[in-house]
Structure 1
Amino acid sequence: MHEMSLMEALVDLAEEEARKADASRISVVRLAVGALSHVDPESLRFCFDAVARGSMCEGAQFDLVAVPGAGWCLDCGKEVAIGERFGPCPDCNGFHVQMTRGDDFRLLELEVV
């Protein structure tokens, strides 16, 4: 389960940033997670709760912002919604689609107290 190691790194980063701001607690953690990022949102929630225990993140609101998958179809010449990395274009069924969005895994915001 790579979600656990991702959440361990996230909590470490959040605590580091909170210390820079002389904060004693983190109240909100907001994360962008792409539909094509190969992480399970429910596993992230579970792992965050487990890793946050005893840290500055304990009790923090954990928000996930879903980022839909999109790609540029070289055959159609337009951006299309995609649900898998190497799937066909939903409009022309061509396989020359370059992913442009949806593999996100980014810390968007921290609220500290």
Structure 2
Amino acid sequence: MHEMAIAEGVLDIALDYAKKNNAQRISEIGLLIGEMSGVVVESLEFSFNMIAKGTIAENAKIVVKRTPLIGRCTKCGKEFHVEHYDFWCPECKDGVLSILSGREMQVEYLEVD
């Protein structure tokens, strides 16, 4: 379950930030998770809640913003939402593209007291 490792990373980031800013409590953690990241949000939240017990992040609300998988065809330049991992350009049918978004996995913001 790679969600546990991700949750540990998120908690480390949050606790480090809180410590540097003399925060007493972490109330909310905003995450940016790309469609292609493969993260199961429910598993991530469950894992985070387990490991945050007894820390200043206990009971912190996890807010997830999903980013769509968007590609740009390197042949014709069309930008499109990649659905079902179908990477073929709907315009020119070429299969070579660059990924513009959808692989994100980051802490976007923290709310602390």
Note whether the superposition's TM-score is higher than 0.5: yes
Partner Cα distance (1:92, 1:43) in 2: 39
Q: Go from structure 1 to structure 2 and tell me whether the alpha carbon gap of 1:72 and 1:12 turns closer, same or farther (over 3 Å shift).
A: same
Partner Cα distance (1:90, 1:47) in 2: 38
1:51-74 CA-to-partner distances (Å, cap 9, x unmatched) read 211111101111000111101112
Normalising by structure 2, what TM-score? 0.91
Task: State the match for 1:21 in structure 2.
Answer: 21
Normalising by structure 1, what TM-score? 0.91
Partner Cα distance (1:51, 1:83) in 2: 34
Task: State the match for 1:97 in structure 2.
Answer: 97
Could you tell me how far 1:38 is from its partner in structure 2?
A: 1.8
SS of 2:99's equivalent in the other structure is strand
List aligned pairs for 1:42-81, cutoff 5 A: 42-81=42-81
Q: Go from structure 1 to structure 2 and tell me whether the alpha carbon gap of 1:88 and 1:58 turns closer, same or farther (over 3 Å shift).
A: same
Partner Cα distance (2:12, 2:56) in 1: 10
**Contiguous gaps of at least 5 residues in structure 1:** none
Q: What's the RMSD between the two structures over aligned residues?
A: 1.5
Match for 1:51: what amino acid? I
Is contact 1:72-1:97 (8 Å) kept?
yes
1:7-61 CA-to-partner distances (Å, cap 9, x unmatched) read 1111011001001111111000000000011211121111111121111110111
How many residues of Structure 1 are paired with residues of Structure 2 in the alignment? Answer: 113
**Contiguous gaps of at least 5 residues in structure 2:** none
SS of 1:54's equivalent in the other structure is coil
SS of 1:76's equivalent in the other structure is coil
Partner Cα distance (1:67, 1:109) in 2: 15
Is contact 1:35-1:83 (8 Å) kept?
no
Partner Cα distance (2:60, 2:75) in 1: 46
Q: Go from structure 1 to structure 2 and tell me whether the alpha carbon gap of 1:68 and 1:95 turns closer, same or farther (over 3 Å shift).
A: same
Partner Cα distance (1:42, 1:4) in 2: 11
What fraction of aligned residue pairs are identical, expressed as a percent? 35
Match for 2:88: what amino acid? P
Task: State the match for 2:35 in structure 1.
Answer: 35
